[in-house]
Amino acid sequence: SRTFNFSAGPAMLPEAVMQKAQAEFLNWHDTGMSVMEMSHRSKEYMSVAHQVEADLREIMQIPDNYKVLLTHGGASLQFSAIPMNLTNEGDTVDYFKTGVWSTKAIKEASRYCNVNIVAGSDEMNPTEIPPQSEWKFSADAKYIHICSNETITGVEFQEDQLEAVFAQGKPVIADMSSNIMCREIDVSKYAMIYAGAQKNIGPAGLAILIVREDLIGQARKMTPTLMNWQTYADNESMFNTPATFAWYLAGLVFQWIKSAGGVAAIAAVNQRKAQKLYDYIDQSGFYSNDINKSQRSWMNVTFNLPTSGLDAVFLEESKAAGLLSLKGHKAFGGMRASIYNAMPEEGVDALIDFMQQFAAKHG
């Protein structure tokens, strides 16, 4: 009778996290208050906040010369904040255009500086990152921006491509909203990493920024106070009232990751989950996935049925089987199973079982 939620975001949270949050909901650590009701300046809440940062630093092995900032406005606000904090008018920046999210980032950056598209097509939903032979970096770019995982199609930058980006020797900025903490990464190779919380971190309402310290303090004069990274760095991300409950829940997720053996252990499960789902799709003779095989996302697995006429039936029957939110993004169509860190392997097994039965019935 258990349900599994494949939503792309806000996405499911680990069951153990939800149980802990429920147990502490009305009375956190015998304070007689919910975390939601505490002053963000109280010593109780500050202890929560400090632990969240310490745990994140531990699980992502964030070097000391990086600041962790917790901000408002989701990942989208950073689409504008990044050029405001790092460029002056007339500067050039390099962007990969690999899907809807990087295209939105480009649109915002174009308001403030000259954007060079390193690679990408005019297609709204490309099914691959173009080969390195087609990449065109500009000589004077202030930074290179990538969306490391395009959530809508399920196209993800691979290690060799990332290495080729780092090899340019420019500050590399990554929107990791949909794949942060899905595998181990070397934070020191990035100048800045950002992610909306509502997939692998916690509930919506919070974004996490990991920024190399030397990049803070250069914002344009016109930058709104709450978009200037310095404001967050100087005030422990509490210049104004932060999203306290989302911040606390993110902390429970980080503790869950630690108790599961850290990001390396979670990555091993993620790889198995993605591999078995893609393997099944490829050999099914019924379902198909159009993404370049070497760039398929571990987190967002898109697939099509033999005819779109079956989509509604698939969604209805999968929902009845307790497999929720499998509809693909309207911009791409088809189905999408988002299998973030919190999705247990049994959820993917249950999905494959259902897909087999559906194919047998409707094939």
Residue set of the binding site for L-glutamate: 41
Q: Smallest Cα–Cα separation from 91: which of 220, 192, 225?
A: 220
Assess whether 229 carries a catalytic annotation: no
Q: Taking a C-beta distance cutoff of 8 angstroms, is the pair 20, 207 a contact?
A: no
Is 177 a binder of ligand PLP (CB under 6 A)? Answer: yes
* Residue 38, helix vs strand vs coil: coil
Got the DSSP string for 2-27? Answer: --EE--SSS----HHHHHHHHHHSSS
178 binds ligand PLP per the rule CB under 6 A:
yes
From 73-81, 111-119, 265-273, 355-363, give the range in contact with ligand PLP by CB under 6 A: 73-81
The answer to whether 341 contacts ligand PLP (rule: CB under 6 A) is: no
Name the segment binding ligand PLP (CB under 6 A); options: 171-179, 209-217, 270-278, 315-323: 171-179
The verdict on 83 binding ligand PLP (CB under 6 A) reads: no
Catalytic residue among 94, 142, 175, 298: 175
Q: Which residue has the tokens 């921006």?
A: 145
- Contacting ligand PLP (CB under 6 A), which of 52, 82, 119, 147? 147
- For the chain, first and last CA: distance in Å? 26
- Considering only residues 241 to 270 of the shown chain, the ones binding ligand PLP according to CB under 6 A are none
Q: Does 74 bind ligand PLP (CB under 6 A)?
A: yes
Distance of CA 269 to the CA centre of its chain: 17
Based on CB atoms, which residue is closest to ligand PLP, 104 or 276?
Answer: 104
The reply on whether position 7 binds ligand PLP by CB under 6 A is no
**According to CB under 6 A, which one of 175, 203, 286, 302 is a site residue for ligand PLP?**
175
Nearer Cβ to ligand PLP (330/361)? 330
From the CB of 310, what's the least distance to ligand PLP, in Å? 26
Tell whether residue 76 is a contact of ligand PLP (CB under 6 A). Answer: yes
Is 101 a known active-site residue? Answer: yes
Q: Is 99 left (phi over 0), alpha (psi -120 to 50) or beta?
A: left
Answer yes or no: are the C-beta atoms of 48 and 37 closer than 8 Å.
Answer: no
Give the 3-state secondary structure of residue 117: strand
* CB distance 218 to 88 below 8 Å: no
Under 8 Å between Cβ of 246 and 197: yes
Q: Does 288 bind ligand PLP (CB under 6 A)?
A: no
**Within 10 A of 171 (CB to CB), how many other CB atoms are there?**
18
Q: Which two tokens stand for residue 184?
A: 């181990």
Task: Verify binding: residue 75, ligand PLP, rule CB under 6 A.
Answer: yes
| Binding site residues, ligand PLP, CB under 6 A | 9, 74-76, 101, 147, 151, 175, 177-178, 196, 207
Active-site amino acid positions: 101, 175, 199
